[in-house]
Homo-oligomer: A and B are copies of this chain.
Amino acid sequence: MNYQELVSQIKKKKSFLCVGLDTDLAKIPAHLLETEDPVFEFNKQIIDSTKDFCVAYKPNIAFYEMLGTKGWESLQKTIDYIPKDIFTIADAKRGDIGNTSLYYANTFFDTYNFDSVTVAPYMGSDSVIPYLQHKEKWAILLALTSNKGADDFELQELKSGEYLFEKVLSTSKEWGSEKNMMYVVGATRPKMLAAIRKIVPNHFLLVPGLGAQGGSLSEVVKYGISKDIGLLVNSSRGIIYAGNGKDFATKAGEKAKAIQQEMEDLMDVNL
Contacts and interface: CB of A to CB of B under 8 A. Distances in A.
A150 B123 CA distance: 5
Contacts of A107: 62, 65-66, 68
Interface in A157-192: 157-159, 161, 164, 167-168, 171-172
A122 B142 contact: yes
Nearest to A60: B100
A158 B127 CA distance: 22
B142 A98 contact: no
Nearest to A151: B124
A95 B231 CA distance: 23
A63 B172 CA distance: 26
- The oligomer's copy count stands at 2
Interface residues of A, number: 56
Given A98-B147, A158-B157, A66 B111 contact: yes
A114 to B, nearest CB: 13
A7 B66 CA distance: 30
Contacts of A168: 153
Contacts of A122: 95, 120-122, 142, 153-154
A148 B120 contact: no
Contacts of A124: 147-154
Given A60-B96, A93-B96, A156-B158, A126 B103 contact: no
A107, A148, A157 interface centre (most CB from chain B within 10 Å): A107
A62 B156 CA distance: 30
A73 interface: yes
Contacts of A156: 158-159, 164, 167
B95 A120 contact: yes
Given A62-B104, A65-B107, A106-B66, A142 B158 contact: no
A97 interface: yes
Nearest to A129: B149
A151 B151 CA distance: 21
18 contacts: A62-B100, A65-B107, A66-B111, A69-B72, A97-B145, A97-B147, A120-B122, A120-B123, A121-B122, A122-B154, A123-B153, A125-B148, A126-B147, A153-B164, A153-B167, A153-B168, A153-B171, A164-B164
